Amino acid sequence: MGADGGALVVLNVYDLTDINNYTYWFGFGIFHSGIEVHDKEYGFGAHEFPASGVFEVEPRSCPGFIYRCSISLGRVNMPSTVFRTFIENMASEYHGDTYHLISKNCNHFTDDLSRRLTGRGIPGWVNRLAGIGAVCSCLLPESLQVTSVKPSLEYHDNSEEDGLESLSTTTPQESTEIDDADPEQHLLSSPTTSSEVSFVKEPRV
């Protein structure tokens, strides 16, 4: 919790490709993002099961992606125990088999989560490519319109582990020097530690 009693909400942005080093300066790129709150980062990924696609990792250490920058979005007055229930309920709205590159990707999730926590969305440039694709979807190959893009993930149902599903990854994590994402946003530094990934379980019914 912060000094004012609110937990800091941070957007962590990652590159999916080195091409972003060139396209970033034109206001778009191919990015993954996660929301950091209460010392954990939450993201949304694809898998083939009708179950939670929301996962948690150590902040700024999501495997398979290249860390770019962090942007402070505000604070939320929500204790960690209450937030845990909140994110588990939200996981029921984001199943791994519903992930879609254009209409329901990781950045849609972080934008939705940010709005629910702080009342503001993520910067438009993070998900601008999906917006362009939605407008011009008739020009995209059919395979791109319907295929989920995901890192090499394996989903395991560990019902004995409270609130989490295990997730193994096969892609190593790299780190890059932080870039200036937006002059109006406060940028945070990046650690270089690796991280385990776990899916957030939906509440029992």
Give the residue-averaged pLDDT of 50-72: 94
Q: From residue 51, give the alpha-carbon distance in Å to each of 47, 91, 157, 201.
A: 9, 8, 10, 8
- 32 given a catalytic annotation: yes
- Quickly list DSSP for 133-155: HHHTGGGS-HHHHHPPP--SEEE
pLDDT at position 82 is 97
* Tens-place pLDDT, residues 23-48: 766 666 788 999 999 999 999 999 98
| Of 47, 62, 95, 106, catalytic | 106
| Of 32, 47, 95, 108, catalytic | 32
pLDDT at position 197 is 85
The pTM of the full predicted model, rounded to 2 decimals, is: 0.72
Residue 159: pLDDT over 70:
no
Class for the domain spanning 7-149: alpha beta
Residue of higher predicted confidence among 172 and 115: 115
* Tens-place pLDDT, residues 86-112: 999 999 999 999 998 889 999 999 999
Residue 125: pLDDT over 80:
yes
- 69 given a catalytic annotation: no
